[in-house]
Amino acid sequence: MSASDLSERCGVSEATIYRRLEPLREHDLVVERTKPAEGGHHYKEYRTNLDRLTVDLTDDGFEVQVRRRESMADRFTRLIEDM
């Protein structure tokens, strides 16, 4: 979704959306893509990069495991490196 769409859906300003997206991007949980629009303009669209999130309750608290989606290029690199 675009920041504008996210703003409407969440009922907050676009500035708040951008502020919230930044740490998600820094931790590779959201990816940003530039999309063409009419008139030669473009906009950014955001989508989750999260594949799976697991939270396990332990005697010491909890453990969080995050699995991100891999791009085809990353999968190919991993395949070659594991050979």
Pick from 14, 23, 46, 20: which is nearest to 33 by CA?
46
Q: Which residue has 């708040």 as its token pair?
A: 16
The conformation of residue 40, written as its DSSP 8-state character, comes to G
User: Which residues 6+ apart lie within 8 Å of 2 measured at CB?
Assistant: 35, 43, 44, 45, 46
Over the stretch 52-61, which tens digit does the pLDDT of each residue have?
A: 999 999 999 9
Angle between helices 14-26 and 3-10 (to 10 degrees): 110
- For the chain, the domains span 1-48, 50-83
Over the stretch 4-29, which tens digit does the pLDDT of each residue have?
A: 999 999 999 999 999 999 999 998 88
Pick from 27, 45, 29: which is nearest to 37 by CA?
45
Residue 6 is predicted with a pLDDT of: 95
**Residue 71 pLDDT > 80, yes or no?**
no
Of 46-50, 70-74, 75-79, the range with the lowest mean pLDDT is 70-74
In terms of CATH architecture, what is 1-48?
A: Orthogonal Bundle (1.10)
